[in-house]
Amino acid sequence: MTTPQITGMIIDLGAVIVAVTEDRPLVLVRHGPVLDEAEARTVARGFDVAGDALPSGPFDAVRHRTLERGLRETVTSRIGATLGYVEQLYTFGDSGRHPRERDGGPRVISVGYLALTHEAEISTPDNAAWRSWYDYFPWEDWRQQRPPMIDKLIAPLLRTWVRAASGGTEQRQRRDRASICFALDGANWDEEIVLERFELLYEAGLVVEAQRETSNTAKTRDAPPLGSPMMSDHRRILATAMGRLRAKLKYRPVVFDLMPDTFSLFQLQRTVEAILGARLHKQNFRRLVEKSRIVEPTGEIQPQQRGRPAALFRFRHEVLRERLAAGVRISSPR
């Protein structure tokens, strides 16, 4: 097959916009298999680009003074939202990562950002929706139990992939990676290595994205149903954001960008658990939060339909001046 001639380069700015509502970690996505004319031509040539997409738009070197300002203007113009907390994640520029390039178009370099907000603050357009990030990564949610799909589906497929290695050394390397990533053979679960887990599944050819970038649409039906696919490598960008947020909430107070002005400790715990994908010990969590002096009581209470009224708290902004590490202290959930 002749490799298409690639001309030019586009810088694309993409946002992983996260909110937590009723214990659900949500991400704002655009849905629909075709996003522009270039991708329509790619579909016509037999490539599958179906899947949700993160909000994104091109960087204008003339109009946008900085990349972050370009992102904020793009999000505001496309979904009518003004973002609060924003941080740059990573630059994604692998060759062939975008359907435009596979169709002979320009190289697309994506600069990914993490943004935190409240779902109610964004009025979503018709072609966008909030979806749980566990729709795309169902093996990451351990709040009820170890996800059954790990042992029933993922582990057998990975063991087959390990056996297919070319030699003993490669087999050991593959087996160690599988054990570390998916807590196999007695290994502990590390909630922060979301990207490493997805990269492993991608390398093993176990997600739709891995097959559709080298095959035609018909062959992607052989991929197991390991979460909803996303357009291009947007699921890789989302995995990067999930791992960053899970790690950062332990040493920076980013969780409060997802909280209302006042909240109960129960609400705070449920939000942290939603992000981590793990249940935390109630008394230990409250003791660690109160000891850290990262919140303060408002003197108000929240009426409950049943049980005792809950005391309301707010974030102590002064903590940012008192110490560098000001996250929510968390004891290991498992």
Predicted local distance difference test score (pLDDT) of residue 213: 63
In a domain, 329, yes or no: no
Among 247, 282, 301, the domain boundary falls at 247
Q: How far is CA 203 from the centre of its chain?
A: 19
- For 194-228, the pLDDT digits (tens) are 999 999 999 999 998 887 765 443 344 455 679 99
Q: What is the CATH number of the domain that holds 309?
A: 1.10.10.10
Predicted local distance difference test score (pLDDT) of residue 35: 44
Query: What is the signed CA dihedral for 154, 276, 85, 284, rounded to 10 degrees?
Result: -170
Cβ proximity of 84 and 116 under 8 Å: yes
Q: What is the CATH number of the domain that holds 66?
A: 3.90.79.10
Same domain, 213 and 157: yes
The boundaries of the domain holding residue 261 are: 252-322
Predicted local distance difference test score (pLDDT) of residue 32: 56
Task: Please state, in angstroms and rounded to a whole number, the distance separating the CA atoms of residues 38 and 30.
Answer: 17
Ranges of residues in the chain with a pLDDT under 50 are 1-6, 33-49, 215-221
Predicted local distance difference test score (pLDDT) of residue 294: 92
Same domain, 38 and 126: yes
Same domain, 236 and 88: yes
In a domain, 331, yes or no: no
Same domain, 241 and 108: yes
Matching residue, tokens 């002064």: 318
In a domain, 334, yes or no: no
Same domain, 209 and 176: yes
Predicted local distance difference test score (pLDDT) of residue 308: 78
195: amino acid identity, one letter:
L
Longest dimension (CA), the chain: 70
b/e sequence 194-218, b meaning 16+ C-beta within 10 Å: bbebbbbbbebebbbbbbbbebeee
In a domain, 327, yes or no: no
Q: Which DSSP string corresponds to 293-309? A: T-EEEEEEEE--SSSSP
* β-bridge pairing 9-21 and 310-315: unpaired
Task: Please state, in angstroms and rounded to a whole number, the distance separating the CA atoms of residues 254 and 256.
Answer: 5
Task: Please state, in angstroms and rounded to a whole number, the distance separating the CA atoms of residues 103 and 260.
Answer: 45
Task: Please state, in angstroms and rounded to a whole number, the distance separating the CA atoms of residues 320 and 334.
Answer: 29
Same domain, 64 and 44: yes
